[in-house]
Chain A
Amino acid sequence: MTALLSVSGLRVGFGRDPQNHEIVHGVSFDLAAGETLAVVGESGSGKSVTALSINRLIDFGGGRITGGSIVLQRTDGSSTDLAQADEAQLTRIRGAEISMIFQEPMTSLNPVLTIGTQIEESFRLHRGLTGRQAKAAARDALDRVRIPDAARRLKYNPNQLSGGMLQRVMIAIALACSPRILIADEPTTALDVTVQAQILALLAELKRETGMSMIFITHDIGLVAGIADKVMVMQAGEAVEQGELNQVLDDPQHAYTRHLLHAVPHFSSGRATRIDGQRGTSASTEPALKVDGLVVRFPVKGGLFGRATGAVHAVDGVDFDLLPGETLAIVGESGSGKSTTARAVLGLEQSTRGAFTIGKAAAAAEGVRPMQMVFQNPYASLNPRLTVQSILAEPVIASGGRTDARTLSRMTKLLARVGLTEDCLQRYPHEFSGGQRQRLCIARALMLNPSVVVLDEAVSALDVSVQADVLELLVDLQQEFKLAYLFISHDMAVVERIAHRIAVIYAGQIVEIGEAASVLAEPRHSYTRKLIAAVPAIDRRHETFEIDMRQVPSLVRPLGFEPQPADWQSFGPDHLARTEAPDGAKPLVTDDA
């Protein structure tokens, strides 16, 4: 049987001189009908360029195919080399025989057109449908991607839908004309983990229904296990390994594949949690930070004179304590209130109510700022115009100190401690890599000898191998300085490796809190279970995930609304979960977006 798509010796270059600026150096693979090929690689490996070359969208991104062929078996039985095809031929193939979905659903739909118009366009272009027929076809397409209330949603503009919904709309557009090949370029990278699971489940189901083939581009080798039949690993523009899924994952031949499989923290349901510094093993029991009933609300204004008509309950009654030398991870999805909690604890966000108690020892000491923060994006959180020395001096100066010999000696000591040399002091942030910059941010946070460090998605923006090193550094520093970490993250695999305790936050409230191993191994709250079930892992092969149509509850409440006091149930020495209403988590207010 001939392959549906056969790529051989594909070479792609960029710019005016594509031969000498080659990004993809001779990639070959075959895709059979109904098969899913996963292309895995780190940023810059050429995986997206390869994908965009197949339907020749690369032409519009400044790329040129400089060699090789891309032979597609057409619906009518003939075959076409897409590398040689002209634009008129390509517009007939794109969307009809080869479709594509992209990484950022939020920006991939035209903001000024309704989603109905954008879906109809596919039918108009390839099926010649117009008017009522096109509208009916668009409604069916939305139904197919399980968007409830499709007829009404057709009139929505993209800004009225959430990222997960928009990715479904993108899938509806891509599959409108039943293409035989779907190219999915990191389709879930920008989405929350539970939404990611939903999209993957939907793609798997649609693939079964239609029998289409899929090329799935991803940087996350864990994701591959659930969806692929075959895997191709790319590094620096070359395919270093390809083969059947089980073969590549269980018996990787190439060193880079093994590296990818080992560098990535794999989620293992609480079997890889930390064994050092557990609660109760250290002598000190006085918390470094204690938070009582933290509430953060943002007024919603409306009407002619901008009166408050309601409030966004971003954080709604959060309590926890944090001992010295302990990591509390706060996990939750975007919009759950985890970052707002961190910002409120630091005073970056005005809290509406609630009390913080900082450990007495820390509060009394001279020249100490008890809490510091490390942010997500190391590229944006260092001032590009300042030298490393000025950056490290900043917290000292801000707290009334000066750059004297003592400060300088602390700088060099900390730089050495985070793995940078002394000569870095006169250099500027752009001279450092992402991982090194995050080390600088950590050194800056430690300048004032804090007792609590808030790490807001501190390793999320780093490449996987760098991520592992930075996590290791954080653990070492914690042991050395008895630091308490408040670790905000959406990544369960990372959390598993650094947290002693975990607090799961949902819609502004903690729903489950306790010892990491216990929470991850035996989640008690339905939301925690859902969150953990959605985490991709290499040992979860072809596991089906239930498609759940429930909407995230809106956090907007009427003025004066107070939530019910929490009712906690205990599941062991250090494991509490909120008691749920008997009929599961019933959303208080449903919202479209």
Chain B
Amino acid sequence: MNYLTGRLVTFPLVLLGVSLIVFIAIRLVPGDSITAMLGTEAGLLTPKQREALAAYFGIDQPWFIQYWRWLYDLFHGDLGVSVTYGRPVLDVILERFPLTLELALLSMIVALLVGVPAGVYAATHNEQPSDLGVRIIAMVGQSTPNFVLGLVIIYILSAGFGILPVMGTFTSIWQDPLTNLSQMILPAVTLGFAFAASVTRISRSAMLDILKDDYVRTARSKGASSRAVIWRHALPNALIPVVTLSGIEFSYLLGGAVIVEQIFALPGLGRLVLDAILQRDYALVQGTVLFIAFNVMVVNLLVDLAYATLDPRIRLGER
């Protein structure tokens, strides 16, 4: 477990770096919480009122003192209070996070269930028309922006079948799994499509390489059938690049999918960050970014652990 402790030690250091960058970056954006909240009326404030408001928002001090205070609170488990929601930042994030997590997981499941078999199929039918078909679909999937697909899905369902995607208040999976899934499946497919296209392409090329490897020939010389060769001998080796890709895409999705959330009216992390930035809700931006950074690091750690399980040659902690 040396490797794990080593990695966990670096966690706080990375988070500290991320928080500092966000803290400075958000303050470099012109405008502040007061103008963002009051708009043109901010000009009507007397200097006294402005000072009082600044003190209320905690932006009356130089940025490094603000940062120090924020850090001090953070160590006491307090991410601050969101000015837009008037509630603790952590509560707001935790309210939105389950949806984002669920959406990311569902998209990944869709991507792997479609992408891996499609990639294997294309690789084993190399240079045949069916391989070409899979490759064209994958290429289209990768190059179509996901909002286009989202809009097309909604249009086809509503215009063609008269079905409207279930919008309205978001229902969590714990309250009503069926309603929840009916709300989530379309955004998951929309996000999963491009994801699946990437998975298809990478598993196809990995399989093609591996099918030329010596141990595949050995398996054939033993009398293993083509199916056993592909699924038992080749696929486990081909999964390593797929895991790498899935890790990257998944951690990206954990940061929220702004456009898809917007189209399907889902209250996820993506829209939360966007709104927070527009509102100059400093505490909320800082908290959310820190939270996302933490998640990305956890995903990366899981990916590394997955490598070690998939491939015994990879021993963690050795260079």
Contacts and interface: CB of A to CB of B under 8 A. Distances in A.
Interface string B196-223: 0000000000000001011101111111
A100 B228 CA distance: 18
B218 A112 contact: no
B28 to A, nearest CB: 38
B221 A57 contact: yes
A125 B223 contact: yes
Contact of B311 (A87, A102, A104, A112): A112
Interface string A108-139: 11111100000001100110000000000000
B14 to A, nearest CB: 18
Given A108-B215, A112-B312, A159-B312, A100 B221 contact: yes
B301 interface: no
B213 A107 contact: yes
Interface residues of B, number: 26
B133 interface: no
A170 B218 contact: yes
Interface of A (DSSP majority class): mixed
B237 A111 contact: yes
A111 B313 contact: yes
A107 B215 contact: yes
A110 B215 CA distance: 5
A55 B219 CA distance: 13
Given A157-B313, A159-B313, A304-B5, A108 B218 contact: yes
A5 to B, nearest CB: 16
Given A108-B214, A112-B237, A112-B312, A57 B220 contact: yes
Given A111-B311, A112-B310, A304-B6, A125 B222 contact: yes
A62 to B, nearest CB: 10
A170 B219 CA distance: 11
A280 interface: no
Contacts of A96: 223
A61 B216 CA distance: 11
A304 B4 CA distance: 10
A173 interface: yes
Nearest to B224: A125
Contacts of A57: 217, 220-221
Interface in B1-54: 2, 5-6
A102 B313 contact: no
Contacts of B226: 87
B117 interface: no
Given A107-B213, A107-B214, A173 B222 contact: yes
Contacts of B2: 303-304
B225 interface: yes
Given A96-B223, A126-B223, A109 B313 contact: no
8 contacts: A57-B221, A100-B221, A102-B218, A109-B215, A110-B215, A110-B237, A111-B215, A121-B224
